[in-house]
Structure 1
């Protein structure tokens, strides 16, 4: 068993199957399969289940996967220490919800790469729940989400504060609305919603409920698992939506409204596993980010 085999094993899970892992690692698929066969023979255990094109972990595979993450992280730290080098390299695997992934992370990534040119980023846009699950399962190195976790297995740092607004297309009758509208005014509007698992949905649901309005009672005409799809729906005059203001701050074709007496402040967090064996690239980028906690 060696760290290259561990890297291959981890890549199969991160990229979903043998074929994708082979492409990412510049190996042939038979070479990837041969390394997994060697691992399973050495450990005398089945580690992966092939389900069509997808590979999933067995129970023993889950144990070995977490072990591989720790060993690979410790190996990176050891190499950096022995070389007495601050150089950060490799690939940082990130899962981010829609807002930080599209509107915050590119700036942070660019600034970090200016001093760490050998680091690569792989960004996957997911909803907040999927990002949390990916951190807990070690599928991703780091996550960016719009909600706070109470799980002790996760470290989190507040990196940005925003507020949510009601948005509508810049067409009649919306362009005749005042800047602040009441709860009664929105009850009959056609709404575009995010799907379950979205922090945008959960925050809107929570804040409206405080004022006695059940979000399920609104006139929902469509639900989307992407914030960008919601914005495009608004632009096409399909309906209105509640979304983070940073998403539409420079768009003249979209109107923004405050909902009277409803405060929808929204915090965004960077999250990493609470693990002493994190690789230098994870801890360095995490510490580089703003800390508004």
Structure 2
């Protein structure tokens, strides 16, 4: 059960209309209907009976309405209590790398420019963050790959590149002195990201473009947790292909070595994703425009 679902339910009861609730919440009517269905399935109760002529709230529906109003009021009171003012809310989905290495600087800069917006974020892999956009539980997501979802609009906002990250030892220091290409690393123990990660999708693209079978890699571990991968590389468990943004702090402190991914002329792109069928609130549109322009100057960091 999520606040978005409760907000939709309360609005339908108060406006006695799905279409009016959608208009006031800046949602599409199918999204409001989906939120109500999800609540009914989770609570195993019929909350609203809708016919072509009228809408009727059930007894259990009115019980939920009273609870939902109290919960939403409590949430708003907590936000006011801890932030000191009534703020606009942006529900934000974010995948792993943007969450840790991009979002903090965006929120800091946006907060200085627009101080009256409160963010509620959920972290997952790119696939999960896109799913939240589709089900209407977030206003937008920041993700590391672009999918074929027809309902979604993907706006590129930040470019990055993939690098090979290795432990710091004599073996890889020699590689660094001599120069090495990706095929030189094929016999090394690899730590890979799990399916659903934008980085994993980019690695698969790179391997396919260069005629390298994934089965030819000596994979010793698959992990969802990026921080666990970073620590495992430092400890010498294996090497991995990472986003440069997620690895440069360890490289700067000489805890790992980075090698450019030869032949990767495309690099990778991070996207703002939102539902094109959803009516976006003005402050959400403002945030999207801000993020789109934030990294307008090209990155010139070198490995």
Separation of aligned partners in 1, 2:112 and 2:224: 33
Offset at 1:129? Answer: 0.6
- Once the two structures are TM-superposed, the CA of residue 220 in structure 1 deviates from its matched residue by 0.7
Alignment of 1:79-158 (within 5 A): 89-158=87-156
Cα deviation for residue 106 of structure 1 reads 1.0
Distance 2:90 2:263 in 1: 41
Specify the alignment match of 2:273 in structure 1. Answer: 271
Equivalent residues of 1:193, 1:223 under 8 A apart: yes
**Residues 81-117 of structure 1, C-alpha deviation per residue, up to 9 Å, x if partnerless?**
xxxxxx9933222111111111111111111112322
Cα offsets for 1:196-247 (capped at 9, x unmatched): 0111111111111211111232111111112222111111111100011111
Q: Equivalent residue for 1:195? A: 194
Q: Distance in 1 between matches of 2:260 and 2:211?
A: 17
Q: SS at the partner of 2:153?
A: strand
Quick check: 176-185 or 210-219, which moved more? 176-185
Q: Which moved more, 1:97-106 or 1:258-267?
A: 258-267
Could you list the per-position Cα deviations for residues 22-54 of structure 1 after superposition, in whole angstroms to 9, with x for gaps in the alignment? xxxxxxxxxxxxxxxxxxxxx9x894234xxxx
RMSD over aligned Cα atoms: 3.2
Q: Residue 280 of structure 1 corresponds to which residue in structure 2? A: 282
Q: What corresponds to 1:78 in structure 2?
A: none
Q: Which residue of 1 aligns with 2:292?
A: 290
Gaps of 5+ in 2: 11-35, 50-84, 297-303
Query: After superposition, what is the alpha-carbon deviation per residue over 1:162-210, rounded to whole angstroms, capped at 9, x for unaligned?
Result: 1100001112322221364223311110001000011111111111121
1:117 partner SS: coil
CA contact (8 A) 1:207 1:264 kept: no
Question: 1:235/1:6 Cα in 2 relative to 1: closer, same or farther (>3 Å)?
Answer: same
1:236 corresponds to 2:223: no
Give the 3 Å change call, closer, same or farther, for CA 6–264 of structure 1 in structure 2: same
Give the SS at the match of 1:165: strand
Instruction: Measure how far apart 1:141 and its partner are.
Output: 1.3
1:204 alignment partner in structure 2 = 203
- TM-score normalized by the length of structure 1: 0.69
State the shift of 1:264 in Å: 5.5
1:256 matched residue in structure 2: 258
Matched position secondary structure for 2:229: helix
Q: In the alignment, which residue of structure 2 is the partner of 1:214?
A: 213
Aligned to 1:7: 7
After TM superposition, where is structure 1 displaced by more than 6 Å over at least 4 residues in a row? 55-58
Aligned to 2:41: 49
Q: Is the 8 A contact 1:164 1:264 kept in 2?
A: no
Q: CA deviation at 1:9?
A: 4.9
Q: CA deviation at 1:286?
A: 0.6
Instruction: Give the distance between the partners of 1:88 and 1:149, measured in 2 at CA.
Output: 36
Distance 2:124 2:38 in 1: 30
Conservation of the 8 A alpha-carbon contact between 2:5 and 2:39: no
Residue 224 of structure 2 aligns with which residue? Answer: 225
Gaps of 5+ in 1: 11-42, 62-86
Number of residues of Structure 1 aligned to a counterpart in Structure 2: 228
Structure-2 separation of matches of 1:57 and 1:221 = 47
